[in-house]
Amino acid sequence: MSTLTLPAPAQRARPSARASIARALHPLLSPLRPLVRRGWLAESAVDACSTLLHPTWRLTRVMARVVGRQWVAPDMLAVRLQPNANWRGARPGQHVMLTVDIAGVRHSRSYSLTGTDNGRGQVLELAVRRVPGGRVSNHLIDALRPGDVVELGAPFGELQGAAPAEPGLLLLAAGSGITPLLGLARAALAAGETRPIVLLQYVRDAALQPYADALRQLAARHPNLRSAVIATGDTLQQMQAHAPSAAQLAAWLSDADAQAVRACGPAPFIEAVQSWWDGCARRGSLQVEAFTLPAAGAAASALDAARSVSVRLASGRTLQLSTAQALLPQLEAAGERPAHGCRMGICNTCACRKKSGSVRDLRNGHLQAEPDETIRLCVNAPATDLELDL
Ligand code: FES
């Protein structure tokens, strides 16, 4: 396995002339939209015909053609995509749902954008990490080739760069958490950012550091970028169990006062960052994203002893579910198919109306007990008997 070098942003693949023409002609489909809205035409019929003209043409759906793939770590692949004209752009630091057909079945997963085009029709980049037993990520890595077409959802995620008054940006990444933060750093530097940007990557093995070459090249071009790697030497599970302490973070980040701090990683890492932040008289802003729920032990300690409660669905079905686990995996295990996306409380795809009962947010222990509230199934566990509009 080799780690290849990402080209500099200015050298990245531009859309081919054919792709540009296809994108320019795509709006010709627009007059059909009112006909679909009035029910005179079926969108699926329009899409079936337009696909014959060009594989990415759809009336409203965002389809993207694969235009490049490149290893950025022994277990991580950067995939570059040329979206059709329905793509409305994304902010750096956001994520997107990618849908792909595998053996005739549609599968969706969320991936972080490591490069964004701001809607100008250029090339997006996202990163896919190989996951033991992972169906979609491993398929993308093993089978996706230039010319293939995938579907993208609307971008989501709230991470943002430093505010104008903040003197610098401090990025803390653990594992795959580098991906949205790299997107933030690249966009800031491409926009001419001259304030200091410090990126700390927390990895189990320095040899597995994602985007090592790209970061070296970026730092060589931008002296205001300082990048460092902290290798734990542990397995991922051990790394999650031994997240950096607040004292370690304080030692590493002694110059962080007043910085904008952005952190992304598994829940224990984010909890450590939050605790470090809470213990310091910082004057900047903190934004965090955890891509896992708190470890079972932490979640359980935040909860009462696990109990079984009744969850009644709109279909009339009643399930016995545990208070110790989020609703989404329990509903799926019971054969329900709720809509979902990121599975980490960010995209809102799993939002569902709770008609009665209480749920507890596994990320922070907060209770939601009001009737007729919208809850996110992926991060909330039932706390009492529930009635869901599902
Ligand atoms: S699946 Fe994204 S918020 Fe629940």
Domain residues of the chain, as ranges? 9-152, 169-290, 300-388
Please give the structure tokens belonging to residue 380.
Answer: 């909330």
Centroid of ligand 1 to alpha carbon of 198 (angstroms): 30
Instruction: Return the pLDDT at 250.
Output: 65
Note the pTM of the prediction, 2 decimals.
Answer: 0.81
Instruction: Return the pLDDT at 254.
Output: 57
At the top level of CATH, which class does the domain 9-152 belong to? mainly beta
Pocket of ligand 1 (CB under 6 A): 340-343, 345-350, 376, 378
Beta strand spans in the chain (E): 62-73, 76-83, 95-102, 105-115, 124-129, 149-152, 169-174, 197-203, 225-231, 260-265, 286-290, 308-312, 318-322, 351-356, 359-361, 367-368, 373-376, 380-382, 386-388
For the domain covering 169-290, report its CATH number. 3.40.50.80
Q: Average pLDDT for consecutive 10-residue bins of the chain (390 residues)?
A: 32 56 73 83 84 86 94 95 91 93 90 79 88 91 95 92 89 93 95 91 87 94 90 60 61 64 88 81 84 61 73 95 93 93 86 94 87 94 95
Q: Rounded to whole angstroms, what are the CA distances from 27 to 21, 154, 212, 335?
A: 11, 19, 40, 41
Average pLDDT, the chain: 84
Instruction: Return the pLDDT at 128.
Output: 96
Instruction: Return the pLDDT at 37.
Output: 86
Residue 335 burial (CB count, 10 A): 8
- To test the ligand 1 pocket, which listed residue (337, 350, 352) has its Cβ within 8 A of the most ligand atoms? 350
Instruction: Return the pLDDT at 230.
Output: 82
Residue 75 burial (CB count, 10 A): 17
Closest ligand 1 atom to Cα of 343: 1
- To test the ligand 1 pocket, which listed residue (346, 354, 374) has its Cβ within 8 A of the most ligand atoms? 346
Residue 337 burial (CB count, 10 A): 8
Distance between alpha carbon 313 and the CA centroid of its chain, in Å? Answer: 29
Instruction: Return the pLDDT at 65.
Output: 94
Closest ligand 1 atom to Cα of 340: 1
Centroid of ligand 1 to alpha carbon of 339 (angstroms): 9
Centroid of ligand 1 to alpha carbon of 149 (angstroms): 24
Closest ligand 1 atom to Cα of 379: 4
Instruction: Return the pLDDT at 133.
Output: 87
Residue 342 burial (CB count, 10 A): 26
CATH architecture of 300-388: Roll (3.10)
Q: Give me the residue label for tokens 């605790």.
A: 275
Closest ligand 1 atom to Cα of 348: 3
Instruction: Residue 13: name the closest of 91, 127, 124, 119 by CA.
Output: 124
Contact 147, 64 (CB under 8 A): no
Centroid of ligand 1 to alpha carbon of 379 (angstroms): 8
Q: Give me the residue label for tokens 């001259």.
A: 194
Centroid of ligand 1 to alpha carbon of 333 (angstroms): 17
Q: Rounded to whole angstroms, what are the CA distances from 337 to 8, 152, 351, 377?
A: 42, 20, 13, 12
Instruction: Return the pLDDT at 5.
Output: 30
Centroid of ligand 1 to alpha carbon of 154 (angstroms): 13
Please, which residues have CB within 8 angstroms of residue 250's CB and are 6 or more apart in sequence? 276, 279, 280
